[in-house]
Amino acid sequence: MAKQTLTKADIPRLASYSLAPDDHPDVDCAQMEHRINLLQQWSIPSSSRVLEFGCGQGLCTTVLAANAQLAGSDEKPGHIDAVDPAPLTYGTPTTLGEAQGFIMNSEVGGCISWHQADPEEFLKGSEETWDVAVLAHCIWYFDSPGRVKRLFTALKGRVKRVCIAEYALSASEPGGVPHVLAALGRGFMEAHRTSSENIRTLLSPREIKNSMEGAGWKVEKETVIVPGEELQDGRWEVGSFTAEGTIKEIEALDVDEGVKIMLLSARDAVIASVKGLAGGKVRTMNTYVAVFEC
């Protein structure tokens, strides 16, 4: 009998485990579809013990847990240790604690253990090992490149493989160009202040790969995929960076005037790129997907 895998038919069911406003079910469906696509690229066996960093509200965690439930009758189901340092009160309109609690009450909840902890400190707290570590769209949240590399180094000997997904800073579709420009602008801005924004360390695929290889890992597989048209991350990032409030944030920075002018110009470039779509839809940029092994 062929191994089961998650498919598009599973998307509505998995999206129902997300505690989100009922008036936008398509948003969560798009998020789940994207993460199923990531899972297919990673090829994580269902019986795997998975260590997920940057789990947030559990979008990828849900897909990983659903995959764990597909283990064959002769296999032990997989398990997900989902780690995130953010307080459980973080997030709006749904907090991390609310979202994670909702998932725990779903049929995939039994495959998940949640941990509110700093990634490095979590690893120091035990000698436990896992089959695979997953970092899905969380690398940019780290507050420095050094912390990213220290985590990659700390994973040596604790996991056999590391599966990564992060935005690729490239766009195969014209609609994704504003997202690329907005991410670059936001990343440059947050590099000049203490930040809690979702882009703090803007690493390109090449820099991620260099950091992994510098920590002693080697590439098993890497590719770039084009997210579905309904994935909203690009539109959200563009909207955030082009908001009027961003001008005030730039003007408040303790930096040279030249840096402020560059950031204001970067914002103008994003606005112009959206206008250049001539009414077309802002899309989410390409995603870099990779698997590394020791």
Give the DSSP letter string of 171-231. -SSGGGHHHHHHHHHHHHHHTTS---SS-SS---HHHHHHHHHHTT-EEEEEEEE---TT-
- Beta pairing, strands 79-84 & 49-53: parallel
Q: Rounded to an integer, what distance in angstroms lies between the CA atom of residue 46 and that of residue 108?
A: 13
- Beta pairing, strands 49-53 & 287-293: unpaired
Which of 22-26, 66-70, 90-94 ranks highest by mean pLDDT? 66-70
CB 57 within 8 A of CB 96: yes
- pLDDT tens column, 46-84: 999 999 999 999 999 999 999 999 988 888 889 999 999
Does residue 48 lie within any of the structural domains? yes
Q: How far, in whole angstroms, is CA 17 from its chain's centroid?
A: 18
Average pLDDT, the chain: 96
- Averaged over 273-285, what is the pLDDT? 96
Query: Is the dihedral angle over the CA atoms 116, 197, 136, 209 positive or is it negative?
Result: negative
- Structural domain tally of the chain? 1
- Averaged over 100-126, what is the pLDDT? 98
Does residue 113 lie within any of the structural domains? yes
Q: Give the type of residue at 62.
A: T
**pTM of this structure:** 0.95
Does residue 255 lie within any of the structural domains? no
Does residue 167 lie within any of the structural domains? yes
Confidence of residue 2 (pLDDT cuts 50, 70, 90): very low
Nearest Cα neighbor of 82 from 106, 63, 69, 95 is 63
DSSP annotation of 79 reads: E
Does residue 222 lie within any of the structural domains? yes
CB 133 within 8 A of CB 81: no
Does residue 95 lie within any of the structural domains? yes
Higher pLDDT, 133 or 21: 133
Establish whether the linkage from the previous residue to 93 is cis, with ω within 30° of 0. Answer: yes
Q: Where are the alpha helices (DSSP H) in 191-287?
A: 205-214, 233-242, 244-251, 257-275
Q: The CATH number of the domain where 135 resides is what?
A: 3.40.50.150
Does residue 23 lie within any of the structural domains? yes
Q: Rounded to an integer, what distance in angstroms lies between the CA atom of residue 283 and that of residue 236?
A: 10
Q: Rounded to an integer, what distance in angstroms lies between the CA atom of residue 35 and that of residue 41?
A: 10
Report the percentage of the chain scoring pLDDT > 70.
98
Does residue 268 lie within any of the structural domains? no
Q: Rounded to an integer, what distance in angstroms lies between the CA atom of residue 101 and that of residue 109?
A: 9
Element holding 252 (H helix, E strand):
none
- Averaged over 258-276, what is the pLDDT? 98
Q: Give the type of residue at 279.
A: G
Domain containing 77 equals 8-172+195-230+278-293
- pLDDT tens column, 134-148: 999 999 999 999 999
